[in-house]
Amino acid sequence: MRCPFCAHDDTQVKDSRPTEDNASIRRRRQCSSCGARFTTFERVQLREVVVVKSGANGEQGRREPFDRSKLEQSIALASRKRGIDQERLDQLISGIQRQVETSGEAEVPSSHIGELVMEGLRQIDSVAYIRFASVYRDFSEARDFEEFASTVQQAAKE
């Protein structure tokens, strides 16, 4: 494993242990050149999945490999400063990744992944859900927020 600090190729594993949900292995590593320590995660990848982005006018756009880190970034941004336990977010991300990889499809529309994220965030935190929806559904006016927030409130009362 290459050191992220000095790019040296030789690093040693100092500690390995499974994560809380047993979905990955956490490894603490140390660079033999600069002595820096860092953490890596090893996860099972069932198959290569390609995400099909939506293009102009609802047409299919570009294709790119599924990237867990993009999913992590978008969920982290939506749930920022919400006090949501990181372990719970990791479970959501792992669950979405598992659903995408076990779907049996080689290509998955980005809209499907967005819906999975929205469903997961709806169950965890309504503010994070609304934040994600505002970007995912491209809210352009304050009225869009108001309408969506009122539907969230109505669903919570039922």
The reported pTM is: 0.66
- Say what the pLDDT of residue 57 is: 59
Locate 37 and state its tokens.
């320590």
Render pLDDT for 20-59 as a digit per residue (tens, 0 to 9).
778 789 999 999 999 999 999 887 766 788 999 876 655 6
Reported as a pLDDT band with limits 50, 70 and 90, residue 96 is: very high
Locate 3 and state its tokens.
């050191």
